[in-house]
């Protein structure tokens, strides 16, 4: 989980930084302690070199073990020895007894430091340096070698104490980090956990729930906002599906009831059964089949499974041919046609386009007021072609025009079967979309319902 990953990474990074910082601090403190010890050795060497002089009789070291503390203790901790250039001992501390210090020096006048075991068996640290003692003018002072050694028990104890303090501090810091980091993460991720719990409680019956965006951290606001948008879309989709299920059941209830009535009558009075009864049953079955076929086509279109061809089409002859089946019905209702068909070529699927035109003309032939006018206008556009089918619609409002492509929507409140099930226009829009065209409906200021079919832009890929 994100919490576990963050916990592991934060603990790893924090403990690594703490370890590096503490190690650097211990190293710096240990280095400072050693430097302080070495500074004391340099001071002792300087004191001894200062009291070393050259006389006509030779080199003299005016130094006694009581001159510096540590050389005259009951248990001596400091030692020194001075050698001439030839290797002979010029002076030595009484604390050495018969023992000898190792003779080592650095390069030039730079001192050399090293660890050693002192004559008394204790661990120590020594400094070796080459120097020239003071002498009278005109006297060439010889180079002497001086080694000063000191017991390093106190230094060792200090370093061990420092290491123990560092280890104790590290354990405390590790414990505090292991305790604090998960709790800080829990507190920091609490809004995310609350958001997850709220999301887990949402189901099909609570899609109206919305996440409170205002009180969330800045990082979670976009996520909650997108979830709210998704919930709104899901709520609309579920509501649409509920309406669809109810409408479909309503549409099928009447033909099913009619079929049941015909079957019951045929069983009760078989001798009175007429051929018209079978024709009526067949018509009802065909109506139900058409309804189911259109629903399947709509479902395939919404899932992007409608296959369409793309080929150049001459639209004017196609429009005139599509009107042919509806001309008798329009003539029967006294409709007057006004045509304005300009030559136009567009890319589309002839079969799907005929179905779209058939649904538009079917709607105009049935719903235009008797004795009214139906206007069909076709023109070429830079993006292909545009076809407009318009008729008077005195019973519609602007709000109705926005619902006209909803499945099973019809202006009349009663749903009693009939020729129109409210699927033709949704199917027409689905077929248009499958070709890459657009189909819209508007109610103009004169109260005319205007369907606009546009698209068919030419493309080298399509043509």
Whether 166 and 25 have beta carbons less than 8 Å apart is answered as yes
435-448: pLDDT as tens digits: 888 999 998 888 89
Q: Residue 20's pLDDT band (boundaries 50, 70, 90)?
A: very high
Structure token digits, residue 296 = 């399947």
209-246: pLDDT as tens digits: 888 888 888 888 888 888 888 888 888 878 777 766 66
Whether 449 and 397 have beta carbons less than 8 Å apart is answered as no
Residue 290 makes CB contacts below 8 A (sequence gap 6+) with 421
38-95: pLDDT as tens digits: 999 999 899 888 888 888 777 888 766 555 555 655 678 889 999 988 888 888 888 8
CA 365/CA 368 separation, integer angstroms: 6
- 0.85 surpassed by pTM: no
- Quote the percentage of the chain above a pLDDT of 70: 84
How far CA 323 is from CA of 216, 311, 361, in Å, comes to: 59, 21, 6
CA atoms within 13 A on the CB side of 258: 19
What per-residue confidence (pLDDT) applies to 461? 35
CA 436/CA 299 separation, integer angstroms: 17
276-324: pLDDT as tens digits: 777 777 777 776 776 676 666 666 666 666 666 788 989 999 999 889 8
**pLDDT higher than threshold 70 for residue 187:** yes
């Amino acid at each position: 989980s994100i919490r576990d990953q963050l916990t592991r990474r934060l603990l790893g990074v924090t403990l690594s930084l703490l370890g590096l910082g503490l190690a650097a601090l211990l190293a710096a403190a240990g280095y400072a302690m050693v430097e302080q010890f070495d500074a004391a050795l340099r001071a002792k060497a300087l004191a001894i070199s200062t009291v070393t002089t050259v006389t006509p009789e030779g080199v003299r070291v005016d130094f006694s073990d009581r001159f510096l503390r540590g050389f005259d203790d009951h248990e001596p901790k400091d030692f020194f020895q001075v050698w001439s250039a030839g290797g002979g001992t010029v002076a030595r501390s009484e604390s050495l007894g018969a023992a000898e210090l190792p003779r080592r020096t650095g390069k030039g006048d730079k001192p050399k430091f090293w660890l050693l075991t002192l004559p008394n068996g204790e661990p120590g640290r020594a400094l070796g340096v080459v120097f020239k003692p003071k002498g009278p003018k005109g006297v060439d002072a010889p180079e002497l070698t001086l080694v000063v050694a000191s017991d390093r028990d106190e230094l060792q104890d200090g370093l061990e104490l420092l290491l123990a303090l560092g280890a104790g501090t590290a354990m405390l810091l590790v414990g505090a980090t292991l305790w604090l980091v998960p709790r800080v993460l829990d507190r920091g991720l609490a809004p995310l956990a609350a958001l997850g719990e709220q999301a887990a409680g949402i189901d099909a019956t609570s899609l109206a729930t919305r996440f409170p965006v205002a009180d969330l951290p800045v990082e979670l606001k976009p996520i909650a906002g997108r979830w709210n948008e998704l919930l709104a879309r899901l709520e609309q989709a579920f509501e649409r599906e509920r309406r669809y299920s109810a409408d479909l059941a309503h549409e099928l209830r009447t033909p099913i009831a009619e079929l049941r009535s015909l079957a019951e009558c045929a069983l009760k009075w078989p001798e009175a059964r007429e051929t018209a009864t079978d024709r009526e049953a067949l018509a009802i079955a065909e109506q139900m089949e058409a309804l189911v076929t259109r629903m399947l086509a709509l479902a395939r279109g919404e899932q992007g499974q409608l296959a369409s061809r793309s080929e150049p089409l001459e639209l004017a002859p196609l429009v005139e041919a599509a009107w042919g089946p509806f001309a008798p019905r329009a003539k029967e209702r006294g409709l007057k046609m006004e045509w304005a068909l300009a030559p136009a070529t567009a890319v589309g699927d002839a079969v799907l386009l005929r179905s779209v035109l058939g649904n538009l003309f079917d709607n105009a032939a049935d719903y235009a007021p008797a004795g009214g006018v139906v206007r069909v206008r076709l023109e070429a556009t830079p993006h292909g072609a545009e076809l407009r089918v318009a008729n008077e619609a005195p019973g519609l409002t602007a709000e109705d025009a926005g619902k006209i492509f909803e499945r099973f929507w019809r202006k009349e409140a009663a749903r009693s079967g009939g020729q129109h099930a409210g699927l033709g226009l949704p199917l027409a829009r689905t077929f248009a979309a499958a070709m890459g065209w657009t189909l819209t409906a508007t109610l103009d200021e004169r109260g005319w319902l205007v369907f606009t079919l546009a698209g068919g832009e030419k493309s080298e890929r399509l043509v």
